[in-house]
Structure 1
Amino acid sequence: MPDRADRADRVGRASGARPSLFERARRQPSAILLLTQFLGVLIYPYLGESRTGTSAVSVFGLLVLALAVWSVETTSWTVWVSIGLGVPSVIFTICQVISEASVWRAWGSGFEAAFYFYAAGSLISYMLADRNITRDELFAVGATFTLLAWAFAHLYTVTQIIWPGSFVAAMNSGSPRTWMELLFLSFTTLSSTGLSDVVPVRPHARSFVMIEQVAGLAYVAMIVSWMVGLTVARARARAEHQESADELN
């Protein structure tokens, strides 16, 4: 499948028109998504546990996520899946601001986890479909990693609501874990750097953490093998082309 960002670049160069800011973002959706995820990581500590602030960041992140999914794969099926997962996520996130009931947070995090898992799968399909490694696909490698980290963090949020006391930490071990703590746990687990000071202690929590550990290892192995395979295939094609040229000469 040809890369749509590359096609847009070629058309823009051929026409001589200078791309607008929206067109530039449209050509690099994975870069915009990755930047948004990193900004979220930096902004969350300033928000603390403010429901309004964290909900606003979550809604903005969902909108950017929907844009990224739409940019890399636009079909009627993907549009309806994005709407079916994204709209309830936004609605339940807004309900969290209005009401403190944990049921809204559970439903909202559940839909957000599903949306992030779906988006990660879409980006993986987008990357593996091409025979050439493009600039946006390199950003997609990082963006997919952060999507998986967010997805599991939302899954952990649902887990501790359904099974209280699923996670403990060195500080305030008796209280529920904050969103930043669960996101930190997700990143450290997915990257296989260790469980840090947040530890799963109940059976369901440990099951999900083990699944994330396997997912992190599988993702890294898949991406490395994909990049190596394309690099070897390109080098082999160049060598065969050179041999054919030498034979003609």
Structure 2
Amino acid sequence: MNDVRNHETGWRVLVRRHPSAFLLAAQLLSLVIFPLLDDSTGGRVVFSAFGAMVLLLAVWVVNRTPAVNWIAWLIAIPAFVLSILSVASDSVPLLLWSSALEALLYFYVAASLIAYMLSDHRVTTDELFAAGATFTLLAWGFAYLYLICQAWYPDSFTGAVMPERPRTWLELLFFSFTNLSATGLGDILPLGSAARVLTMLEQLAGIGYIAVVVSRLIGLSLLRAGSR
């Protein structure tokens, strides 16, 4: 009995100390399972439910940072409802509205995590997890913006495979990751003006994030290691 209680206590301590790790793990897990669900209607439902869990985790992480928690709930609740309704009704307008709210939520949580990481001069393990989670949140947020852009402006993107068709969600997410990380593999290209503007904004966000946040965490970590 004592071993069970100690295990539960240790789990609660882990959850309390490293909330960003769970958000990062959920984002990475969704990347792993999405290729199995991408082309099926049932898969969309499952992935939408999984996305709802990620939304709840995002709100929970905001609650552990200096951000105002009710703002996150104000965005997350309608985003969750519209996301489920868009899958159930196969409605494009609902999908676009839910995508816009999800993008707003991911950017809000990312900004909150950045404020959390910049709030002091001490680097914790959770802040390192937060650095990875923030990167995925930014990539997800821009992917949703690309999805909206493609719906509003057809032929905004082209690709090496079947260049005439609209890009899938996974392709846009892949483009977002390569663009944010500045790897630029180039098999998906923005063609329209709006798509290129969004691409440039994401490139600017990626460079700024690495230059300001990640480099600061690395510098503080090296400074702490050198002072020991």
Distance 2:69 2:137 in 1: 18
Distance 2:225 2:55 in 1: 39
Letter of the 2:217 partner, please give it: M
Aligned residues: CA RMSD: 2.1
Q: Does 1:33 align with 2:26?
A: no
Letter of the 1:210 partner, please give it: M
**Aligned to 2:59, which of 66, 77, 88?**
66
Q: Equivalent residues in 2 for 1:96-135 (5 A)?
A: 96-135=86-125
Show structure 2 runs of 5+ residues with no match.
Answer: 1-5
Report the TM-score, using the length of structure 2 for normalisation.
0.89
- Displaced runs of 4+ in structure 1, greater than 6 A? none
Distance 2:60 2:225 in 1: 35
- Is the 2:59–2:69 contact (alpha carbons within 8 Å) kept by the matching residues of 1? no
Shift of 1:183: 0.5
- Is the 2:102–2:141 contact (alpha carbons within 8 Å) kept by the matching residues of 1? yes
Could you list the per-position Cα deviations for residues 58-78 of structure 1 after superposition, in whole angstroms to 9, with x for gaps in the alignment?
11111111111112236xxx1
Distance 2:45 2:33 in 1: 13
Could you list the per-position Cα deviations for residues 173-205 of structure 1 after superposition, in whole angstroms to 9, with x for gaps in the alignment?
222211110110000000000043111111100
- Is the 1:55–1:96 contact (alpha carbons within 8 Å) kept by the matching residues of 2? no
- Is the 2:66–2:115 contact (alpha carbons within 8 Å) kept by the matching residues of 1? no
Distance 1:228 1:180, change over 3 A: closer
**Residue in 1 aligned with 2:3?**
none
- Is the 2:65–2:116 contact (alpha carbons within 8 Å) kept by the matching residues of 1? yes
Distance 1:159 1:38 in 2: 25
- Is the 1:29–1:72 contact (alpha carbons within 8 Å) kept by the matching residues of 2? no
Could you list the per-position Cα deviations for residues 80-133 of structure 1 after superposition, in whole angstroms to 9, with x for gaps in the alignment?
211111011101101112211210110000000000000000000000002210
The percent of aligned pairs where both chains have the same amino acid is 43
**Aligned to 2:164, which of 166, 169, 174?**
174
Q: Does 1:136 align with 2:126?
A: yes
